[in-house]
Structure 1
């Protein structure tokens, strides 16, 4: 069966609808019009990227790879509120933040200096890989390998966006760490499956897990040139 050609504009619109249906405009306090105005400039960026990045017929979410994500930061929508809006593919139980994040610690897991966010509120993330090749690899070593490829590690918000827009990417034994958000200690955030739902937790940077890879991306861009 022939694959439907990838349409970046249609995919961007779909991701906006996903966020709108999940209540992000109300969650952010912006309302539908202002939330729409916040993300609207990014549509042209997605369209421009299609001309140079995507092959005709390229799909989304295939084998743990995604062309782009619309990411809304914690400045707009708190992590404690966005994580429960994730579900597994075909599931109904809401995602959750693990209790091992002691009170106040989640706020300290911020984007690293190397991550270089293009906008504090909303932006696009391109060429995302779930990173299952790093399952069983020490996270510290996986992060070094990704840096050597001139790729960037995903942040917590980007990991939530990945599961929100493409829940089929989070599957058993192919979960992922989010090394783009750190708090200055040896903990590395990660999203995996627990109690039949997505869970945001963390693992030590020196401890490998056979079911936990390291997610990465190619580039980020904001809506303003």
Structure 2
């Protein structure tokens, strides 16, 4: 999983509040509403209502993971014309659920505010980053939220500046957490990824105790219905 040591992190533009309508249209174009069992009108109505009350810093429109799982969203990602994919050894990707400390809105659609890629935490382990985010009153993104962000703002994935989504973890039958933590980054086209997938967006995992210089920790200020 080694990558090139990152340069100075770049600054991402904020998502504009008025962009929620455009975000809804993209999800409709990609057929996400159909996957989620929603009508295009429901998505547009939510976005229109949310635009009137969205915080000034902008917001991301997200579909609840129970309706649009990671396995359905990942192939919609695009970079340099190449579709996204889930690594071959993560067949259980949709079993990664929000941590018990994360309360997703009980609704099919919701907003995320104050997104941050967490570049300053690059070379931290997930075990180190989670308590630090909580101490800062930040909430780590779940895997599907991270994919939604990369769908709507592809520039969030850059060589050597990608992110983990440690708000999602897999719980074993005995109640303990699986040691894998999901992440979204760019494939180098090596190993089982295949040479043809070089530069494609990739949903994969890293060990909870390991550090990676090229992965930050995506988080949000909060989640809202609108």
TM-score bin (small chain): 0.7 to 0.9
Q: Distance in 2 between matches of 1:150 and 1:18?
A: 31
1:52-90: CA deviation from partner (whole Å, max 9, x where unpaired)? x43xxxxxxxxxxxx3110012332232121100112xx
Residue of structure 2 aligned with 1:109, choices 85, 96, 110:
96
Q: TM-score, normalised by structure 1?
A: 0.81
2:190 pairs with 1:203: no
Q: TM-score, normalised by structure 2?
A: 0.80
Q: Residue 24 of structure 2 aligns to a residue in which SS?
A: helix
Uncovered stretches (5+) of structure 1, i.e. residues with no partner:
1-5, 55-66
1:12-69: CA deviation from partner (whole Å, max 9, x where unpaired)? 1110111111122333344xxx24315623543342233xx43xxxxxxxxxxxx311
The residue aligned with 2:215 is 212
Residue of structure 1 aligned with 2:125, choices 125, 130, 138:
138
1:135-176: CA deviation from partner (whole Å, max 9, x where unpaired)? 111221111111100110000110010100000111011110
The residue aligned with 1:86 is 77
Q: Report the count of equivalent residues.
A: 197
Q: Distance in 2 between matches of 1:188 and 1:39?
A: 33
CA RMSD of aligned residues (A): 2.0
Greater helix content:
1
1:109-155: CA deviation from partner (whole Å, max 9, x where unpaired)? 10112111013422100010011111111221111111100110000
Q: Distance in 1 between matches of 2:184 and 2:162?
A: 6
The residue aligned with 1:99 is 88
